[in-house]
Amino acid sequence: MNILVTNDDGIDAPGLWALAEAMSRVGYTMVVAPDKEQSGVGTSVSLHSGMRIDEVPSKISGVVAFAVDGTPSDCVIVGLRQLAKGRHIDMIISGINPGANTGRDIPYSGTVMATLQGYFRRIPSIAVSLAYRERGEELHYDVAARVAESLARRVQGSNMPADVIINANIPNLPLEEIKGMVTTRAATDSFYSIPRSRRSESLDAAVASLPTIVDFPHQAVGGVERVIEEGTDIWAIMGDMISISPLRIDVTDHDSLAAMEKHVLELKIDLLGDGRRM
């Protein structure tokens, strides 16, 4: 298996190298990462500017590494088109990001959106993030790397879907303190908009009641009450569980198609007359 590893935190990020080391145990691994931090760039691609590509000393034996003067998406594109040098890349994996990539923050995430380039090419793609709750915490990259390695081996064995982006968010805890692993959907909220006191509350009783867990309301900034929805990525992380979300890109609002048809018919009559077909 040939694996391309990237991130949005830059070539020197410790999470990148923890991930590269784990992937080197799965197959041939090539690191292609931005030469500086590119957090929050989403799907940005450098269409009109030249990029510098430098091979850099690798921190992992047997792993080749390149720094690119561009975005995470640039790194994947350049890696696939140029740096792979004829190797077929079988998997793209991005991370390990220090911070959750969940809910409404996903479209902004350079970590997750880097894998979009693999998704478009039907290459199995995984994004890995470590969800800390307070800045300054010790970051358990080793735990996230173990999760990433397990996921990669499952994909390698064709035991997991290959036509989705697998978005993994791991609580920043020692492995023995993690309470489970669940399949989730993306929340409609942002993990880091939840007040710190709320994120730090223990949900032991709730987790013990799985799968009949109830929603947990909290007060957001400005006094607007929100609900942490059961079955979402944020719900899992707050319950000290690993969240695995299968993502796909489909921007059509299928529920609105029928309602829109009536309006389009009226627009067609107004603009083109009753007799023209479309």
Tens of each residue's pLDDT in the chain, 278 residues: 999 999 999 999 999 999 999 999 999 999 999 988 765 554 556 655 678 899 999 999 999 999 999 899 999 999 999 999 999 999 999 999 999 999 988 988 889 989 999 999 999 999 999 999 888 889 999 999 999 999 999 998 887 777 899 999 999 999 999 999 999 999 988 776 665 444 444 344 334 443 333 334 443 434 444 568 889 999 999 999 999 999 998 878 889 999 999 899 888 888 887 655 55
65, 28 Cβ separation under 8 angstroms: no
Tell me the two tokens of residue 137. 């915490």
Tell me the two tokens of residue 90. 């079988």
- Can you name the CATH fold of 2-253? Stationary-phase Survival Protein Sure Homolog; Chain: A, (3.40.1210)
Tell me what pLDDT residue 46 has.
Answer: 64
208 φ/ψ angles, rounded to the nearest 5 degrees:
-65, -20
Give the whole-angstrom CA distance, residue 79 versus residue 9: 17
Give the whole-angstrom CA distance, residue 249 versus residue 251: 6
Give the whole-angstrom CA distance, residue 46 versus residue 228: 37
Give the whole-angstrom CA distance, residue 143 versus residue 171: 9
Please, where are the H alpha helices in the chain? 14-24, 72-78, 110-114, 116-120, 141-156, 196-200, 204-208, 233-238, 257-272
Give the whole-angstrom CA distance, residue 143 versus residue 236: 16
- Categorise residue 128: left if φ over 0, alpha if ψ from -120 to 50, beta otherwise: beta
Please, where are the H alpha helices in 102-256? 110-114, 116-120, 141-156, 196-200, 204-208, 233-238
Domain layout of the chain by residue ranges: 2-253
Give 153's strand partners.
Answer: none
Give the whole-angstrom CA distance, residue 79 versus residue 81: 6
Cβ neighbourhood burial of 56 (10 Å; 0-12, 13-18, 19+): middle
Tell me what pLDDT residue 39 has.
Answer: 56
